[in-house]
């Protein structure tokens, strides 16, 4: 199947590593061009090089919590690549801990980045996208069922999934799709850090894998291919949904 990605241009936030980077790889592998961003300049440069350099990828060092970031990304795509066709909004996951144990400062800081940063990016990208454009928010299965010990995620993801649904309704008449993707467990830096924080990281990873129906933690590329498909013209009638990519782990439909 031709996904129709050739020469299309996508913005990806939180994409120097992890699920964002894996999605950038899948998009570029099918002929798209990408503008990736995250906070660490060296990591952004390394990721751009790994994606094949400036013919295929451009990098912007920016924090999703900064109100000017979304406009800057749109500007770079339009100025340097001459078009914009879609966006993946990802960001580092919020700190672990139960909802009740998080301080007001932790809630406020996570809200500014994970929640408001994503909402602001989605509405800015949507206003810049032409008919046929698509936006995917990287959330978590916590949008539908709680994850033990990830209270900030449990608090914010359901609201973001509904924001994506709300925007899907608003922008559909213009032919712009908005959806969310719910990763289960993938062996990215984020998960390595979560496992490393446990007493026995190897045992923790094995236990996590055994609780997944497919009995393994996902490879980031398995997420990237699904996200790239959902952003592509091949998924032109898919909008307003939350798509789980989780090896069957989520205990909800
Ligand atoms: N991996 C999983 O199994 C899993 C499962 C469920 C949900 N998720 C969610 O999926 C998202 C991506 O996870 P991941 O595993 O890809 O994480 P990751 O491996 O930690 O990568 C996060 C990426 O986002 C960037 N980033 C972090 N904070 C940022 C900010 N404020 N502004 C801009 N960029 C930022 C990081 O680069 P810099 O640090 O240089 O900015 C990095 O490129 C997270 O929200 C996570 O909670 C992941």
pLDDT tens track for 166-194: 999 999 999 999 999 999 999 998 888 88
pLDDT of 197 strictly over 90: no
Q: Which atom of ligand 1 is nearest to the CA of 40?
A: 40
The residue whose CB lies within 8 Å of the most ligand 1 atoms, and thus the one to mutate among 11, 92, 112, is: 92
Start-end of H helices in the chain? 18-29, 41-50, 69-76, 104-110, 117-128, 151-171, 189-196, 201-210, 220-231
Handedness of CA 81, 182, 127, 68 (dihedral sign): negative
Compute the distance between CA of residue 70 and CA of residue 74 in angstroms, rounded to an integer.
Answer: 6
Is the CB of 92 within 6 Å of ligand 1? yes
Average pLDDT taken over every residue of the chain? 97
Residue 198 pLDDT > 90, yes or no? no
Using the mean position of ligand 1's atoms as its centre, give its distance from the Cα of residue 62 in Å.
13
DSSP assignments along 240-251, one per residue: S-EEEESTT--S
**Alpha carbon nearest to ligand 1 atom 7, residue:** 140
Give the nearest ligand 1 atom to 20 CA.
16
pLDDT in tens, 133-172: 999 999 999 999 999 999 999 999 999 999 999 999 999 9
Q: What are the chain's domains?
A: 9-189+222-244 (3.40.50.720)
Q: How many A from CA of 63 to the centre of ligand 1?
A: 12
What is the mean pLDDT of the segment spanning 97-111? 97
Identify whether the C-beta of residue 134 lies closer than 8 Å to the C-beta of residue 172.
no
Is 165's C-beta closer than 6 angstroms to any atom of ligand 1? no
- For residue 189, the ligand 1 atom closest to its alpha carbon is 19
Q: % helix / strand / coil in the chain, to the nearest 5?
A: 50, 15, 35
* Number of other residues whose CB lies within 10 A of the CB of residue 107: 17
Kindly report whether the global pTM for this prediction surpasses the value 0.85. Answer: yes
Token pair listed for 186: 């993938």
């Amino acid at each position: 199947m031709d996904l129709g990605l050739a020469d299309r241009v996508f913005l990806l936030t939180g994409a120097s590593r992890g699920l964002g980077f894996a999605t950038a790889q899948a998009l570029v592998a099918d002929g798209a061009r990408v503008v990736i961003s995250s906070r660490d300049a060296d990591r952004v440069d390394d990721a751009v090089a790994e994606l094949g350099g400036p013919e295929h990828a451009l990098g912007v060092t920016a924090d999703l919590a900064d109100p000017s970031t979304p406009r800057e990304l749109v500007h770079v795509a339009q100025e340097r690549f001459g078009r914009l066709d879609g966006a993946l909004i990802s960001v580092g996951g919020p700190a672990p801990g139960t909802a009740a144990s998080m301080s007001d400062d932790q809630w406020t800081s996570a809200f500014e980045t994970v929640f408001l940063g994503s909402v602001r990016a989605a509405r800015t990208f949507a206003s810049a996208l032409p008919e046929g454009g698509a936006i995917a928010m990287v959330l978590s299965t916590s949008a539908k069922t709680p994850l033990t010990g990830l209270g900030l995620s449990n608090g914010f993801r359901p609201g973001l999934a509904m924001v994506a649904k709300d925007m899907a309704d608003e922008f559909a008449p213009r032919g712009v799709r908005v959806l969310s993707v719910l990763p289960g467990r993938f062996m990215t830096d984020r998960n390595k850090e979560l496992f490393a924080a446990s007493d026995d990281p190897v045992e923790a990873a094995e236990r996590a894998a055994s609780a997944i129906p497919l009995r393994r933690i996902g490879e980031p590329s398995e997420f990237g291919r699904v996200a790239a498909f959902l952003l592509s013209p091949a998924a032109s009638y898919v909008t307003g949904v939350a798509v789980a990519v989780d090896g069957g782990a989520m205990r909800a439909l």
